[in-house]
Amino acid sequence: MTQSIRTPATLITGANGEMGHGLIERLAQEGTQNIIAIDVRPVDESIRRMCATSHVGDILDSRLLERLQSEYEIHAIYHLAALLSTRAEFTPEAAHRVNVEGTMLLLKLAIEQSRWHGNPVKFLFPSSIAVYGLPSVAAKEKAGKVGEDEWTMPITMYGCNKLYCEHLGRYYAMHYRQLAADADAGGVDFRSIRFPGLISAMTVPSGGTSDYAPEMLHAAAQGKPYASFVREDRRIPFMAMPDAIAALLKLQAAPRKNLSRLIYNIGAFNPSAEEIRTIVLRAFPKAEITYRPDDKRQRIVDSWPADVNDDAARRDFGHAPEYNQARAFDEYLIPVIRRRYAS
């Protein structure tokens, strides 16, 4: 048998995005070798030097994926590339192409890779609370902490994409080509987390509907006035970016036998817009933060749960956020953001 010339590697799509930055730093710290980073924009120098190679390219470019297929032995894929909820509503069909067809191409790459090297390829897929669809504010209040198998009736293209891709992942992991004589389910070890709104001190969000929280903070730190597009009493779950990345790495590392499901909720804190505003004004008293609700974006936030039940994630892979609400703002977000804009 010829010696494989391809290098074992970890592939990260959407590497230049909010989560990509933090993930590559953590993987590099943990000594993960051979990180292949892909993004439609050149990967920032700050993280590019932590990667074995980085490619500016589109996940829909099958020639790029074929090249990766031939050059690398991919054992893990973090598929972070996606058009987020607000952005996707302006270009639903383009969102479907990137979010769904892009994911299909990566799942196909994973299956082909596992056939080659004979090991399952771990496929880490960030899903979202956007897969949920609460029919009214009253139903949302009554529902409280929503479990993984409830209310999955998304009202956005992005939510539909994420939910469908969860099912695609389950299909590739457990039922792929089930009628074929040489059916080869098991080549993809699909693992997914439904992330709440994520708040990073290092990057500013773009194209999401949970963005009002980080936008409020980053605007205040820059002394810019900010008008929130959601009303003060609206509530969805949030998490500090380091905890989101820690959860993804814990899920990746967990023995398959410990995982009772493929898709997990994770939570940390769930302040109302007004509670976030109060915290931000305490740190930046001169900040001008007002409300100018956008009913249409508001409706999306109202369809998302006020909180999630993440018992399964805590039990199966030890999800335990380091940052509760107070620590997230006082020890991570505000000090880092203050420094970021001071310089």
* Residues near ligand AKB (CB under 6 A): 84-85, 128-130, 158, 195, 197, 208-210
- Distance CA(328)–CA(137), nearest Å, equals 27
Smallest distance from ligand AKB to CB 85, Å: 3
Smallest distance from ligand AKB to CB 80, Å: 12
Give whichever of 113 and 303 is closer to ligand AKB, judged by the CB atom: 303
Smallest distance from ligand AKB to CB 9, Å: 27
Radius of gyration of the chain (CA): 20
Give whichever of 19 and 76 is closer to ligand AKB, judged by the CB atom: 19
Give whichever of 120 and 267 is closer to ligand AKB, judged by the CB atom: 267
Q: Is the dihedral of CA 109, 110, 111, 114 positive or negative?
A: positive
Give whichever of 206 and 222 is closer to ligand AKB, judged by the CB atom: 206
Name the residue whose CB lies closest to ligand AKB: 208
Smallest distance from ligand AKB to CB 10, Å: 23
Work out whether strand 226-228 and strand 188-195 pair parallel, antiparallel, or are unpaired. unpaired
Give whichever of 195 and 226 is closer to ligand AKB, judged by the CB atom: 195
- Distance CA(213)–CA(197), nearest Å, equals 8
| Alpha helices (runs of H) in the chain, residue ranges in sequence order | 18-29, 45-48, 62-71, 85-90, 92-96, 102-117, 137-143, 157-174, 212-221, 241-253, 273-283, 295-303, 311-317, 325-327, 334-342
Smallest distance from ligand AKB to CB 130, Å: 5
Nearest 5°: CA angle at 81, between 80 and 84? Answer: 100
Smallest distance from ligand AKB to CB 128, Å: 3
Give whichever of 36 and 129 is closer to ligand AKB, judged by the CB atom: 129
Give Cβ neighbours of residue 259 (< 8 Å, ≥ 6 apart): 191, 251, 316, 317
